[in-house]
Amino acid sequence: MVSGQIALIMLLMAVGLIVILTGKYKVNAFLVLIGVAIAYGVAIGLPPLEVIKLVKEGFGGTLTNIGIVIVAGTIMGLTLEKTGAALSMTRSILKIVGKERSSLAMNAAGVVVSIPVFCDSGFVIMNPLNQALAKESSTSMVVMAVALATGLYATHTMVPPTPGPLAASGALNADIGMVILFGTMAAIPAALAAWFFATKIGNRFPAPVPASESYQTLIDRYGKLPSPWLSFLPIIGPIILIVGKSVADLPSKPFGDGALTSVAQFIGDPVVALIIGMFLSFTLLQSKKEWTEALSTWTSEGIKDAALILVITGAGGSLGKILSVSPLKDYVSTVLADPKLGLGLFLPFMISAALKTAQGSSTVAIITTSTIMAPLMATLGLHPALTVVVIGAGAMVVSHANDSYFWVVSQFSNLEVGTAYRVFSTATFVEGTVAFLVAWLLSFFV
């Protein structure tokens, strides 16, 4: 087998190959990651049959931990999208915050909606309401677009059950309840910082509000929306259950050693909690037609959406398994554990940000970075949950032309590309940096 130094050089070459193939040539990330895993294993001197064995173990082991959770979470998010629950939640937040602060309301709504719903889908769903509020409140479309987009982005990259942070939690053996807690603590100030930046900078750039319906016309067109309480329940319910399990698992045994602890550990297991959340989302269905669509068409669509994330996550697990047995682990940990470097949480943040900026996909950046970091966690002494959060923070830095979300935000909001670069891309830098700083501060207390 090659030396640790050569293994590191080969890893840097592998990462460069991942960036080029997924970013420039748009090759599917599954093909790239699984190919790189096999090629890297052979290149460092592992026997070919051992490489294949490790690839299969890494793929299967990763999906064992999070496969069902991703599928259930995706179906739940799709149901919230199709039933109008996302709009119902947004309206309730708008009532609390007020139309006069519509940009802040949409930023807050984005933070909530993107916990189960993909950020690009969330933006498309909420954009008509965003445009209607921009017109009604005479707020700059640039401000409104960036406020909503960055609110969605914060939880999309840092709070499970969104697939990226969920996959990273599995790769790093992080407690999902702690990831939800720390991710939320980082996401809220990060989203607010991006909103504040948008309000100060966005007004400098003209962007006409696209021709759109009025707020009331939009609400009338949707008809009867689900109850806000029922709309929030599929999100809040699983989070409470998962956090409850984390509390039950504390060494102090706050729930004792009896049945209460056993129940909390069972229903708070992410698999059980997300399945419960999925079925809670079905309570939003208001007609026999919706029930039929939900149990067949919507569920099938959700499984198809989850499939891509699952195979990419599994391929990332394969690469991680190869890295875990390579000489890289001992060599890199010896070099990077030097206290004089003081990298700490900055290392995963930096790797994730570099991958995000280079190839565009936040999910690929999160999965690849967590794969690289997994073998190094124990030696570097990093907190698993906080590492997931800083990887998610890095995966926001920065969104630009190679990111599909950049085009969703700019095109649906009628923003010029230059304006989107100056305001939205810069806002994602602010957002990711603030999220990292919050996680770094939290590291002094956990």
Q: Are 201 and 421 in contact, with CB atoms under 8 Å apart?
A: no
Asked if 316 contacts 112 with a C-beta cutoff of 8 angstroms, the reply is: no
Tell me, letter by letter, the H, E, C secondary structure of 427-439.
HHHHHHHHHHHHH
Q: Say how far apart CA 435 and CA 185 lie, in whole Å.
A: 9
**Helical residues (DSSP H) of 270-339, grouped into ranges:** 270-281, 288-293, 299-324, 328-336
Instruction: Return the pLDDT at 103.
Output: 94
User: pLDDT of 254-298, one tens digit each?
Assistant: 988 889 999 999 999 999 999 999 999 999 988 888 888 888 899
Low-confidence ranges of the chain (pLDDT < 70): 207, 209-215, 218, 221-222, 329, 332-334, 336-342
pTM assigned to the model: 0.87
- Positive or negative: CA dihedral 153, 159, 163, 167: positive
- Amino acid 210: pLDDT: 66
Q: What is the pLDDT of residue 338?
A: 62
DSSP letters, 129-193, are: HHHHHHHHHT--HHHHHHHHHHHHHHHHHHSTTSHHHHHHHHHTT--HHHHHHHHHHHHHHHHHH
Question: What is residue 358's predicted lDDT score, i.e. its pLDDT?
Answer: 82
pLDDT for residue 90? 86
d(CA 132, CA 211): 9
Contact indicator for 422, 200 with CB cutoff of 8 Å: no
* Residue extents of the structural domains in the chain: 4-442
pLDDT at position 8 is 86
Give me the pLDDT at residue 211, please.
61
Position 274 scores a pLDDT of 93
CA 386, 354, 424, 441: dihedral to nearest 10 degrees? 30
CA angle 278, 279, 281 (to 5 degrees): 70
CA-CA distance, 171 to 352, in Å (whole number)? 15
Separation between Cα atoms, residue 414 and residue 208, nearest integer Å = 7
